[in-house]
Amino acid sequence: MENPAEEIVPIIHSLTQDFPTQQKETLDRYFTPNANFLHPFCATGSWRFKLFGQEWNSRWATLQIYQWYKILSPRIDLEVLSVAFDKETLYLYVTVQQHFRLWMVPYYDADVRFTTVLRLVEGDASGPASAISSSRPIKSKGRSPYSYAAVASSDSSEKSSNADGRNGIKYYYIMEQNDCYQVSEWIKFLIPWGIGNIIVWALWLWNTFLSILGAYVFFPQTWWKERSVLDIPEKI
């Protein structure tokens, strides 16, 4: 990718909605061979090795996950809601809304929203394999790369330049995909038809009540600690 913020949308649609051949082509073009895939229900890790003259790697495992995903839900409606690219840390944040339907379960429709955090790495025009050896350390400047708010206002459409000495163009490849779901979202896969959401909201409200109760009951402790800290300068 030369401009991740603009190119990521068709990549996501290809991985989730295209036929297996197109899925493989997309992964081979944009994912490094040792790319890591993380999801609430599965993960590949990052690895690659040769066995009987054939290379096996985590990108191949990711392909199997996407193909099984398509088998379970042949028709997937998906919309990319927002994209933000942090050029310093090379993290790409993509918010997605999708309808996942299990073909073998009548009236099953998991309408979920999640944020995919993609860790990118720089390479050259020869392909994703070039990015493995040319990856540079991430400079976070004291903040977590998983802070979406920190980069939401950044200019995501600016063209990249001056990274590859041969052509002056940056090429970005995906070395990690982390699909981040709230509990209220991934529960829809396990307990559909709104039942899971009712359970989660009941637990949330109960924990909120406990938090309010605990804050009042233990307020003297926090008050005393605050007063002891504020009194230190006066005692010195």
Residue 195 inside a domain? The answer is no
Regarding whether 135 and 53 lie in a shared domain, the answer is yes
- CA 183 to chain CA mean position, Å: 15
- Confidence check: pLDDT of 107 > 90: no
Regarding whether 180 and 102 lie in a shared domain, the answer is yes
User: Which tokens in the block code for residue 22?
Assistant: 């197109």
| Residue listed under structure tokens 């402790």 | 221
Regarding whether 224 and 131 lie in a shared domain, the answer is no
Residue 92: closest CA among 9, 163, 27: 9
Q: What is the mean pLDDT of residues 8-28?
A: 96
Q: What pLDDT is attached to residue 168?
A: 64
Q: Cα separation of 175 and 37, whole Å?
A: 9
Q: What pLDDT is attached to residue 167?
A: 57
Q: Cα separation of 55 and 34, whole Å?
A: 11
Residue 69 inside a domain? The answer is yes
Residue 152 inside a domain? The answer is yes
Regarding whether 213 and 112 lie in a shared domain, the answer is no
Regarding whether 228 and 160 lie in a shared domain, the answer is no
Q: What is the mean pLDDT of residues 15-40?
A: 96
Regarding whether 227 and 143 lie in a shared domain, the answer is no
Residue 142 inside a domain? The answer is yes
Regarding whether 73 and 24 lie in a shared domain, the answer is yes
C-alpha distances in Å from residue 97, one per residue of 129, 144, 173, 177: 31, 24, 23, 17
Q: Cα separation of 171 and 189, whole Å?
A: 36
- Confidence check: pLDDT of 162 > 70: no
Per-residue b or e along 126-139, where b marks 16 or more CB atoms closer than 10 Å to that residue's CB: eebebbbeebeeee
232 or 224: whose pLDDT is higher? Answer: 224
- Number of domains present in the structure of the chain: 2
135 or 115: whose pLDDT is higher? Answer: 115
Q: Cα separation of 145 and 155, whole Å?
A: 17
Regarding whether 110 and 223 lie in a shared domain, the answer is no
How, if at all, do strands 42-43 and 31-39 pair? antiparallel
Regarding whether 221 and 108 lie in a shared domain, the answer is no
Regarding whether 207 and 98 lie in a shared domain, the answer is no
Would you place residue 235 in the very low, low, confident or very high pLDDT band (cuts 50, 70, 90)? Answer: very low
Q: What is the mean pLDDT of residues 193-205?
A: 94
Containing domain of residue 103, as a range?
4-189
Q: What pLDDT is attached to residue 152?
A: 53
Q: Cα separation of 163 and 158, whole Å?
A: 14
Regarding whether 212 and 169 lie in a shared domain, the answer is no
For the ranges 123-137, 158-172, 197-211, the lowest mean pLDDT is seen at 158-172
Residue 167 inside a domain? The answer is yes
Say what percent of the chain tops pLDDT 90: 67
Would you place residue 137 in the very low, low, confident or very high pLDDT band (cuts 50, 70, 90)? Answer: very low
Residue 2: closest CA among 133, 120, 88: 120
* CATH code for the domain in which residue 92 is found: 3.10.450.50
Residue 86: closest CA among 178, 4, 151: 151
Q: Cα separation of 118 and 114, whole Å?
A: 13
Cβ neighbours of residue 55 under 8 Å, at least 6 residues apart? Answer: 33, 48, 49
Regarding whether 173 and 70 lie in a shared domain, the answer is yes
Residue 146 inside a domain? The answer is yes
Cβ atoms within 10 A of the Cβ of 145, count?
18
Residue 5: closest CA among 123, 127, 160, 148: 160
